[in-house]
Amino acid sequence: MITNASASARYQDMAVLTVGVEEEFLLLDPAAGDNVPLAERVRAGLPQRIRDRSRQEMRRSMMELVTGVCTDLRDLRDQLVDSRQVAADVADQVGARLVAIGATPVGEPDREVPAEPRYRDIVDRFGPVALDPAVCGMHVHVGIPERDLAVGVCNHLRVWLPVIQALTSNSPFFEGTDTGYASWRSVQLRRWPGVEPTPHFDTAAEYDATVTELVTAGVLLDEASVYWYARLSPTYPTVEIRVGDVCTDVDDAVLVAALVRAAVATAAADVTDGRPTPALRDCVVDAAHWRAARDGLSGQLIDLRLGQARPAWDLVDEFFATVSPALLASGDLSLVMDGLARLRYAGDGASRQRRLHSATGDIRVVLESLAGWTSAG
């Protein structure tokens, strides 16, 4: 049984871990559903407070919007709602829809990259892979400034990252048809060097040396090109979880942020207590992520502790039980319980899209609904 006393004792230093979220969105043609290269016009039309929290992306049909550093999830939610609603209004004014979806659902006629030296270097290095249609993720940063501790956290998270991936599944369509995957974004990104499950490292020095070797080998452009599913942010004193599709709506995004923060707090406490990480074979971890991309929450996931396929929601329930003490300590337990109940009822983003498509046979109806969910408060 979880008690306030037991939770507080183990997580007293973890309860107020900072959290921030980066969300990537597509700009779609309202009629055809194709991606439209209007990001620069949308960014130019944003009020300063939102423009300061926006980022240029390599695809000109993409918008990235970020929150500030938060400790209270109510503050995080307010920022997400504000950014989404304002950007959606500006997108509408320039003839586009802002849509939270993990992968290009119809097509991307314009794949010209912005005139930035880094983007040109990426195209020169990686060729056609760098010109793939846009994909959109959700990246959650949790403050862990001590780097050896952060590496240990990433090790402990490996067992649960496929579950987090499944919770965010939101990209079933590509070229107007159902791919059969809940997260086509996850499949598409595997063509990129550096996009893969996080390796196990014993120390931050080993982590840094490996990154240096990969840059020297030419597989990575620089440190910022490490796109492991959990990494030490090259910019902030955080652990960055970047395995998920952008979430359909704000409430799902807040739910995932709460679970990720609690998972990081739990992992940090395990590292501090000297608990060993599970011995996981990299090929099985990779298979678990493929299964999460394939099934989302609608089928089975791989339990990396047992090496067995199990119903997805059984693993979600066990993940929740594992991080519940941290959620109790941070005051987020009720929010997460309500969020998981809603997700269990409504399904992941991929399931919601498929239900609409099954009922109408029209991808444009799906995208119109997604646009509404994206900016709903």
- The band of 161, judged by pLDDT with boundaries at 50, 70 and 90, is very high
Residues 319-356 pLDDT 10s: 999 999 999 999 999 999 999 999 999 999 999 999 99
Kindly tell me if the per-residue pLDDT of 15 is higher than 80: no
Burial class from Cβ neighbours inside 10 Å (0-12, 13-18, 19+) for residue 216 reads: exposed
CA distances in angstroms from 103 to 15, 187, 232, 305, listed in the order given: 34, 10, 25, 30
pLDDT given at position 278? 86
pLDDT given at position 3? 46
Kindly tell me if the per-residue pLDDT of 372 is higher than 50: yes
Query: Collapsing DSSP states into helix, strand and coil, what is residue 243?
Result: strand
CA distances in angstroms from 142 to 224, 316, 348, listed in the order given: 17, 21, 23
- The band of 6, judged by pLDDT with boundaries at 50, 70 and 90, is low
The pTM of this model reads 0.96
Closest to 4 (Cα-Cα) out of 347, 323, 327: 327
Which tokens go with 201?
């490292």
Is beta strand 173-174 parallel, antiparallel or unpaired with respect to 177-178? antiparallel
CA torsion 194-127-246-357 (nearest 10°) is -130
Closest to 338 (Cα-Cα) out of 260, 263, 265, 254: 254
Residues 273-287 pLDDT 10s: 999 998 899 999 999
Share of the chain above pLDDT 70, in %: 96
* CA 268 to mean position of chain CA atoms: 20
Overall average pLDDT of the 12-36 stretch: 90
Closest to 365 (Cα-Cα) out of 27, 64, 106, 88: 106
Overall average pLDDT of the 353-371 stretch: 96
Contact 292, 183 (CB under 8 A): yes
- The band of 115, judged by pLDDT with boundaries at 50, 70 and 90, is confident
Residue that is written with structure tokens 């319980």 in the block? 337
Average pLDDT, the chain: 94
Which residues have a Cβ under 8 Å from the Cβ of 43 and sit 6 or more positions away? 51, 54, 56, 63
The Cα–Cα gap between 23 and 27 comes to 13
Kindly tell me if the per-residue pLDDT of 147 is higher than 70: yes
Which residues have a Cβ under 8 Å from the Cβ of 370 and sit 6 or more positions away? 99, 100, 101, 248, 353
Sequence spans of domains, the chain: 4-375
The Cα–Cα gap between 279 and 307 comes to 11
Residue 180 has a CB neighbour count (10 Å cut-off) of 9
Residues 95-107 pLDDT 10s: 999 999 999 999 9
Lowest mean pLDDT among 87-101, 115-129, 157-171, 357-371: 115-129
C-alpha dihedral sign at 196, 202, 206, 208: positive
Determine the angle formed by the axes of helices 73-93 and 363-375, rounding to 10 degrees.
130
Residue type at 356? L
CA distances in angstroms from 364 to 28, 98, 247, 356, listed in the order given: 10, 14, 19, 10
Kindly tell me if the per-residue pLDDT of 2 is higher than 50: no
Q: Which residue has the higher pLDDT, 43 or 11?
A: 43
Domain 4-375 fold is Creatine Kinase; Chain A, domain 2 (3.30.590)
Overall average pLDDT of the 285-298 stretch: 98
285: left (phi over 0), alpha (psi -120 to 50) or beta: alpha
The Cα–Cα gap between 200 and 146 comes to 17
CA angle (55, 56, 57) in 5-degree steps? 115
Residue type at 297? L
The Cα–Cα gap between 191 and 168 comes to 20
- Strand-pairing partners, residue 240, are 141, 231
Share of the chain above pLDDT 90, in %: 92
Q: Which residue has the higher pLDDT, 4 or 153?
A: 153
Lowest mean pLDDT among 7-21, 24-38, 131-145, 289-303: 7-21
